[in-house]
Amino acid sequence: MNRIPISKPIIGDEEKAAVMAVLDSGMLVQGGRVHALEDLFAQLIGVRHAVAVSSGTAALQLALQAHGIGPGDEVITSPFSFVATANSIISVGATPVFADVDEETFNLDPTRVEELIGPKTKALMPVHLYGQPCDMDRLTGLASSHGLAIIEDSAQAVGARFGGRAVGSFGTGTFSLYATKNLISAEGGVLTTDDDAVADRVRLLRNHGMRERYSYESLGLNYRMTDVHAAIAVAQFDRLHELTLTRQANAKRLSAGITAVQVPAVSPNRDHVWHQYTIRVGKRDRDECVRKLNETGVGTGIFYPQALSDIPHVRAATKGTINVPIAESLAKEVISLPVHPSLSDDDLAQIIDAVNRL
Ligand SMILES: *Cc1c(COP(=O)(O)O)cnc(C)c1O
């Protein structure tokens, strides 16, 4: 039987040669490859600064710290995301406040966000889930009228655009280069911003608060990226656009063929980069659906099996009542299907056939 994995890292000869070149150079950390990656990112996102760090989680945490967010502050975010989104907020001592998501796009609902803005709110942290941009018109409108920072969790959305403008450029953006993401370095993250002070602060914080050798301006830790990792992402950068086009074509094909369940909705004005292609099984038994798909060789993923506010340590860090019924029902109903660029025509036909037999 043809087994189709839910994701597949693309590592070709270029990536291998780039890693070997770094190893031969002896310049292993925060050298030429890291700078090259930062330049490529700044260009792609259309911002003045890109700062490479050790992971997407580190990028989120440093973004919050650079914006001066800490104990007593509230950050409004999505309850339907990877745990790193909430953990970053908790890690700086701030309080995550969960606004429910939109039924169609599974992204933060700006109307719910607005209801939760209060005197302690310091930032909005939209998550461009599965590679689809949030409603950045309304969210940036809310942020500017209430004087809030925007920290975009763009981990899943490298290259995605809202109204022609790249996500990660609407405030401070964070990206992940983890092994399953659309652009990879194995582990790694990048922070993007037009704000000189935020970029400067993050550069200090990632390297022991050190501006010049052994001169420490502040507390800082080690969140540096290695050149070994940066080299992988740099080698892949040239192909990112083509890989994204393939993801988009795969998603189009799946949506044209799948009739048995609800296929993903794409809102107008968005360039979705299809990190995940996620169906909603409604009243069907999800475990049974997953079992049937896996039996026919179709790999699946559940992103995510619970609302963040239902994770005990996250719940303990929240305040008051939490009202996120849409996120809670999505957590029971979603299944992600393979959409990665390595799928063949036959793979796509096999996925469509398996889903239509559910
Ligand atoms: C992957 C991911 C992160 C964390 O990135 P890491 O590089 O794994 O630390 C954060 N938020 C979202 C939405 C993610 O998908």
Mutate which of 54, 75, 77, 85 for ligand 1 pocket (most atoms within 8 A of beta carbon): 85
Tens of pLDDT, residue by residue, the chain (358 residues): 899 999 998 899 999 999 999 999 989 998 999 999 999 999 999 999 999 999 999 999 999 999 999 999 999 999 999 999 999 999 999 999 999 999 999 999 999 999 999 999 999 999 999 999 999 999 999 999 999 999 999 999 999 999 999 999 999 999 999 999 999 999 999 999 999 999 999 999 999 999 999 999 999 999 999 999 999 999 999 999 999 999 999 999 999 999 999 999 999 999 999 999 999 999 999 999 999 999 999 999 999 999 999 999 999 999 999 999 999 999 999 999 999 999 999 999 999 999 999 9
Q: Is the CB of 81 under 6 A from ligand 1?
A: yes
pLDDT computed for residue 81 by the predictor:
98
Query: What gap in Å lies between CA 338 and CA 353, rounded to an integer?
Result: 13
Sign of CA dihedral 271, 277, 281, 287: negative
Q: What is the pTM of this model?
A: 0.98
Protein residue with least CA distance to atom 5, ligand 1: 56
Say if residues 75 and 123 touch (Cβ distance below 8 Å).
yes
How many C-beta neighbours within 10 Å does residue 120 have? 13
How many C-beta neighbours within 10 Å does residue 215 have? 8
Atom number, ligand 1, closest to the C-alpha of residue 176 = 7
CA angle 143, 172, 159 (to 5 degrees): 110
**Alpha helices in the chain, H assignment, sequence order:** 13-25, 32-45, 56-66, 83-91, 110-116, 136-146, 196-205, 227-257, 286-295, 312-317, 325-333, 345-356
Sign of CA dihedral 193, 196, 197, 199: positive
pLDDT computed for residue 30 by the predictor:
86
Q: Is the CB of 185 under 6 A from ligand 1?
A: no
Q: Strands, DSSP E only, in 252-313?
A: 270-271, 277-280
Protein residue with least CA distance to atom 6, ligand 1: 56
Query: What gap in Å lies between CA 223 and CA 228, rounded to an integer?
Result: 15
* Secondary structure class of 5 (helix, strand, coil): coil
Query: What gap in Å lies between CA 106 and CA 45, rounded to an integer?
Result: 23
Q: Is the CB of 82 under 6 A from ligand 1?
A: yes
Atom number, ligand 1, closest to the C-alpha of residue 55 = 7
Say if residues 76 and 309 touch (Cβ distance below 8 Å).
no
CA of 59 to the centre of ligand 1 (A): 9
Residue holding tokens 């920290």?
151
CA of 175 to the centre of ligand 1 (A): 8
Atom number, ligand 1, closest to the C-alpha of residue 57 = 9
CA of 293 to the centre of ligand 1 (A): 26
pLDDT computed for residue 1 by the predictor:
87
DSSP annotation of 55: -
Residue 36, judged by CB atoms within 10 A of its CB (0-12, 13-18, 19+), counts as: middle
